[in-house]
Amino acid sequence: MAKRVLVPIDGSEQAWNALDHATAEHSTAAFVLLHVINPVGAGTGAQVADVGYGEEWYAAAERRAESLFETARERVGDRPVETETTVGRPARAIVAVAEENDVDGIVMGSHGRDGVSRVVLGSVAETVVRRSPVPVTVVR
């Protein structure tokens, strides 16, 4: 049984399903909750050039991460929880956190895209499964 499980949290229904699954399947594990702030698509045009906008955007993203972690802590009860927020492309960041931390597995949600949307948008879960140094459970 896993002792430490990494659970990426983005606020989606799939991420909450993954957290619920991890809670049920890994009843004695500690969780490392990860929120990745993805700067891609953060703004366009003059907004990106405005330093104030960038600072406001990042501060808002950090507040959102803390809110997500608070909700996650409520869902997992009294088990040990560590939280981490990082900036980058989600799949790459998830794998890096798994490599840098002593986790036994990753439990993550999948948006279940297929066809053209999957090709265009990519699949974070698929990339993590291919590159992860530990077992990955994907929950839909």
CATH number, domain of 115, equals: 3.40.50.620
Structural domains counted in the chain: 1
Per-residue pLDDT reduced to its tens digit, 51-90: 566 789 999 999 999 999 999 999 999 999 999 999 999 9
What number is the average pLDDT over the span 92-119?
83
Q: Which domain holds residue 24?
A: 4-139
Q: Which of 13, 121, 21 is nearest to 5 (CA)?
A: 21
pLDDT of 1 > 70? The answer is no
Q: Any alpha helices (H) in 26-100, and if so which ranges?
A: 46-49, 51-76, 90-100
